[in-house]
Amino acid sequence: MDSFSPISVPESSPKPQTFKKSFVTSLMEAATLKTPSFKEDTYFISHLKPSEKKALQELKDKLQASSNGAESLSMWGISLLSGDEKADVILLKFLRARDFKVSDSLHMLEKCLSWRKEFNADTILEQDLGFKELEGVVAYMNGYDREGHPVCYNAYGVFKDKEMYERIFGDEEKLKNFLRWRVQVLERGIDQLHFKPGGINSIIQVTDLKDMPKRELRVASNHILSLFQDNYPEMVARKIFINVPWYFSVLYSMFSPFLTQRTKSKFVISKEGNVAETLYKFIRPEDIPVQYGGLSRPTDLQNGPPKPASEFSVKGGEKVNIQIEGIEAGATITWDIVVGGWEMEYSAEFVPNAEGSYTIAVEKPRKIGANEEAIHNSFTSKEAGKMVLSVDNTASRKRKVAAYRYVVRKSATISG
């Protein structure tokens, strides 16, 4: 009953007129998906250059020598001196972060080991750090991208509220506690990694810049950036910035000189209004939070893995009808549907199979605003028929990404 349903669309309206782009728009687009995407390393030793294999062995030898027979050095439960492939993955991350310069890589590794011990990073997942009000709002792990990387979302817009800001960042001690919590969130993502050649060895970071108080968060942002770059090398496969305001290009130009070319190649920048379109390229809609044009809600995890969604697009000037057929009498159909950046009309109706029966307006046509989340609804039919979900984009000339899913549950008894 969950098979893909046909989508019918009429002819599109004429193509929209092309307008001259502003300098800022051109600048933003130049940094988006049109540039070659970052290709993640496989960590297979056989794929390394001879010089890189030599550097890996040298790092192992120097680490062994510097340990002076001390207790086993480890990170994320993996012994760095074990010589197995998981240890190689970690060592290669430090080498790549320092362009395979062995001395620099060793120095970075030793500083990281010292920091993890001082910070009690190995046990941080077991600690209750509070910040319940920030869970699922400011920084949180949610689902995976299309390649299987865990995805971490970051949104600091709540801190535009001065009372909230003071409560979290009011003094140095509060800032330290927040940093501990932020590290804990990152460690949750790293706990899902394979640390195996050919496996999933890094996460995806999605950062929402909407309403972010850039001046107030400068100190905290610098702390987080420095802490992550120094102690979590090559742990992020891609950094996606969404709801990017016009001034971000200025900030980016300031930070850019301090970032390696390798780091900059992982960046994806999406201006305001293009959030869903950008995220759909990397993440399936059932794994994208509803506030970003996806179908994922916090309560979904209580019911096991998310049900896959069907993706489609709504071109400018067209109406799309999704027909879900074969619904039996007494069955209940539950559906979710979303269009990125809505600004269009939506309706749902049940069409009985029997001649002479009346079509039921389950949801009357209404305009859906740009910031409205996915629609979740259900309907129990008294007779056999089909459900038709309609999205009308005839008033717009912009193509939009969209997704829907549904489940039909048969009833044991049919009520009259």
Q: What is the pLDDT of residue 400?
A: 96
Q: What is the pLDDT of residue 186?
A: 97
Q: What is the pLDDT of residue 67?
A: 82
Q: Which residues pair with 351 in a beta bridge?
A: 386
Structural contact between residues 329 and 368, judged by C-beta atoms closer than 8 angstroms: no
Residues 241 and 373 in one domain: no
pTM for this prediction: 0.85
Kindly tell me the sign of the dihedral angle through the C-alpha atoms of 55, 60, 65, 66.
positive
Residues 263 and 314 in one domain: no
Q: How many domains does the chain have?
A: 2
Residues 145 and 207 in one domain: yes
Q: What is the pLDDT of residue 4?
A: 38
Owning domain of residue 364: 310-409
Q: Which residues pair with 241 in a beta bridge?
A: 207, 269
Residues 284 and 315 in one domain: no
Residues 274 and 342 in one domain: no
Distance set, CA 124 to CA 92, 109, 177 (Å): 24, 19, 12
Element at 357 (helix H, strand E): none
The last residue of one of the domains, among 292, 319, 335, is 292
Q: What is the pLDDT of residue 299?
A: 80
Residues 157 and 287 in one domain: yes
Task: Please state, in angstroms and rounded to a whole number, the distance separating the CA atoms of residues 140 and 153.
Answer: 5
The last residue of one of the domains, among 229, 262, 292, is 292
Q: What is the pLDDT of residue 68?
A: 73
Kindly tell me the sign of the dihedral angle through the C-alpha atoms of 376, 212, 233, 100.
positive
Task: Please state, in angstroms and rounded to a whole number, the distance separating the CA atoms of residues 138 and 347.
Answer: 33
Residue 123 lies in a domain: yes
Mean pLDDT in each 10-residue stretch from start to end of the chain (416 residues)?
A: 42 35 37 48 93 97 83 88 94 96 97 95 92 92 96 94 90 92 96 96 95 80 90 94 80 72 79 92 97 91 83 96 96 97 97 95 97 96 97 95 96 55
Residue 165 lies in a domain: yes
Residue 40 lies in a domain: yes
Residue 320 lies in a domain: yes
Residue 298 lies in a domain: no
Give the chain's count of helices (H) and strands (E).
10, 16
Structural contact between residues 362 and 378, judged by C-beta atoms closer than 8 angstroms: no
Residues 353 and 276 in one domain: no
Separation of first and last alpha carbons in the chain: 23
The last residue of one of the domains, among 257, 292, 327, is 292
Residues 273 and 330 in one domain: no
Q: What is the pLDDT of residue 301?
A: 67
Residue 286 lies in a domain: yes
Residue 8 lies in a domain: no
Residues 56 and 189 in one domain: yes
Residues 288 and 314 in one domain: no
Cα atoms found within 13 Å of the Cα of residue 346, Cβ hemisphere only: 23
Cα atoms found within 13 Å of the Cα of residue 38, Cβ hemisphere only: 22
Q: What is the pLDDT of residue 30?
A: 36
Residues 247 and 376 in one domain: no
Give the strand pairing for 236-244 and 203-208.
parallel
**What's the CATH code of the domain at 182?**
3.40.525.10
Q: What is the pLDDT of residue 318?
A: 96
Residue 190 lies in a domain: yes
Residues 106 and 249 in one domain: yes
